[in-house]
Amino acid sequence: MKKHWLYWLIFLGCVWPAVGLLLDTYQGRLGVNPVETLLHETGRTALSILFAALSVTPIRRLTGWNRIQSVRRMLGVWSFVYAFCHFLIYVVFNHLGEVQAILDDVFKRKFIFSGMLALSILLVLTLTSTNGMIRRLGKRWQKLHRLVYVAAIAGAVHFVWGQKADIREPLIWTAGLALLLGFRVVWALKRRRPRAVPAVTH
């Protein structure tokens, strides 16, 4: 099946941050603390793509543009890719791959725990995003993939708690997430609201 232009446009948009980071790394433009820059940029990109995935349904419902639904799965996978790169940078450069040190960090530092929670959920959602898994899980697939909201909340919390001083940017991201979740709540309430029974005329 031929991919729509929207798919390739979003695909290139997801690839571009990685290309930019690779170029900056090669040309030595990551600043005085390259590891911190890589951590921040991969984490921020993972969260932004995840929020983009969560925006697909509101956009479709508000505009009636059903074609946009075709890129939601890809956005979710790319969010995991950047989150996993974020994790690898942390593992390699912060702890040199020492498993015990990583586990101690996860259970002692709340913002690391929330980040690991978000990554774990994204891993599960990515592994179950194939057509085969959708068929196998049936109705359970949709329930499982509602965990994306938990991953988004955990990711936002990770961002806020990870800031040492200025939390203005993380709070803006959190406000954006609250808006997306609020849309979901309002839509769910509308679906549950009983329809008015038309009056019977004689």
pLDDT single digits (tens) 112-142: 999 999 999 999 999 999 999 999 989 899 8
Residue 156 CA to residue 167 CA, distance in Å, equals 11
Whether residue 187 is contained in a domain is answered as no
Average pLDDT over residues 139-158: 92
**pLDDT above 60 for 202:** no
Does residue 139 lie in a domain region? yes
Per-residue model confidence (pLDDT) at position 201: 53
Instruction: Calculate mean pLDDT across residues 163-168.
Output: 76
Confidence label for 171 from pLDDT (cuts 50, 70 and 90): confident
CA distances 149 to 26, 35, 49, 154, Å, are 36, 28, 13, 9
**Could you tell me the pTM of the whole model?**
0.89
Instruction: Say if residue 63 is exposed, middle or buried (CB neighbours under 10 Å; 0-12, 13-18, 19+).
Output: exposed
**Residue 89 pLDDT > 80, yes or no?**
yes
Q: Is residue 198 part of a domain?
A: no
Residue 184 covered by a domain? no
- Model confidence band, residue 170 (pLDDT cutoffs 50, 70, 90): confident
Q: Cα separation of 198 and 202, whole Å?
A: 13
What contacts 62, CB < 8 A, 6 or more positions away?
A: none
- Cα separation, 113 vs 184, whole angstroms: 26
**CA atoms 159, 48, 113, 157: torsion sign:** positive
Residue 189 lies in a domain: no
Task: Using the predicted structure, report yes or no on whether residue 143 has a pLDDT greater than 80.
Answer: yes
| Spatial separation of the C-alpha atoms in residues 37 and 171, rounded to whole Å | 20
Spatial contact of 45 and 84, defined as CB atoms under 8 Å apart: no
Structural domains in the chain (count) = 1
Q: Is residue 193 part of a domain?
A: no
Whole domain around residue 100: which residue ranges?
5-179
Q: Output the six-digit token pair for 53.
A: 């995935």
The residue with greater pLDDT, 5 or 76, is 76
Residue 145 lies in a domain: yes
**67 found inside a domain:** yes
Contact 181, 145 (CB under 8 A): no
